[in-house]
Structure 1
Amino acid sequence: MRRNELSAEEEWFIESMGLFFERQGVPRIGGRILGLLLLVEKPLALGEIVGLLRVSPASVSTNVRQLQASGLVDPASVPGDRRHYYVFNSAGWDHRLELAVSAMDALGQLCQDALALPELRERHKLREAVEFCDFYREELSGAAERWRVRFARRTGTQSSSPSARQRRNATR
């Protein structure tokens, strides 16, 4: 990839990522930004992203903030340059797993709270939902741990570092 244009293959991948993430509830431009950042080796300035994707600066800025909140994009700096740069954060995959675990915690708790109400105590589908949430949360937690070990081996980082969830729970 040259810094000012994309190949047909790169454009295909970026557009496919946009469509994929759109189906996941992320704005298409967010998926396109992720696709672009997955392809580049160096940080990209906001203006470079705008130019390569041919979209508005406001759209890129808004979506980059959302991607930063999700843990998949990090800000970066280039010495001597005051522009805002961004990179794909590979550790963000771990954050995505943690978000899924948190979602199952919240859904399971909601169903348990409903079962505590006299009118809803005997609803078997609510009990099934709680059981599913427990099962899915356990599976996701195991997957997150296996990913951390694999990622640590690949990157040479400490596999014993606490997960986002463990850090969050330690502060409570």
Structure 2
Amino acid sequence: MKELSAAEQRFIESMGLYFERQGSTRISGRIHGLLMLADEPLSLQQIARVLKVSAASVSTNIRAIMSIGLVDPVSVPGDRQHYYVVNSDGWESRLRTAEDSVKAFVRLCQEALSAPQLANRQHLRDAADFCDFYLAEMAGIAERWRASRRARPSPRTPKASKGRTA
């Protein structure tokens, strides 16, 4: 990968800070930001060199962002190194995770509201009502997103094959 421009560096650092504010690690955000800008799959060593961090830190953090569906491993024919790319469907995965979280929260509120001594607690009712509203509004977003993506011209594909390497 070529030297990063000032704009690319700012974006990568901003992604790191964003991830950190969301409860993840700054390095995870920096890795994801770098992969979003990469024109080709990057190895652990390439990521470490560009971000000026240890390969061990990249390895640990890449597993974390793979577990939430934002990054995929790919193989490069004839090369035994592990390479990584952004999972273009990762945003849908994050949406499903957020929906699952809201559903779990609304279940807690509804269970509490089913207890006679808590049935009239306005804060619980407001939270449950908001969550129901939120979930109703979110219904169909993923399908509309997929339809929107199908209507767009196909982006160029990375020069690697998806899947775990041995």
- How high is the TM-score relative to the length of structure 1? 0.84
Structure 1 unpaired stretches of 5+ = 157-172
Given candidates 70, 77, 82, the residue that maps to 2:68 is 70
Greater relative contact order, per chain length (Cα 8 Å cut-off, separation 6+): 2
One of 26, 31, 34 as aligned partner of 1:33: 31
- Pairs within 5 Å for 1:44-83: 44-83=42-81
| RMSD between aligned residues | 1.5
Percent of matched pairs sharing the same residue: 57
Structure with more of its chain in helix, by fraction = 1
3, 6, 16: which one aligns with 2:4? 6
| TM-score of the pair, normalised by structure 2 | 0.86
Aligned residue-pair number: 154
Q: Does 1:104 align with 2:102?
A: yes
Matched residue of 1:122: which SS? coil
Matched, 1:22 2:56: no
Contiguous gaps of at least 5 residues in structure 2: 155-166
- 1:111 maps to amino acid: C
Of 134, 138, 148, the match for 1:140: 138
Structure 1 segments of 4 or more deviating over 4 A? none
The 3-state SS of whatever aligns with 2:117 is helix
Amino acid at match of 2:117: E
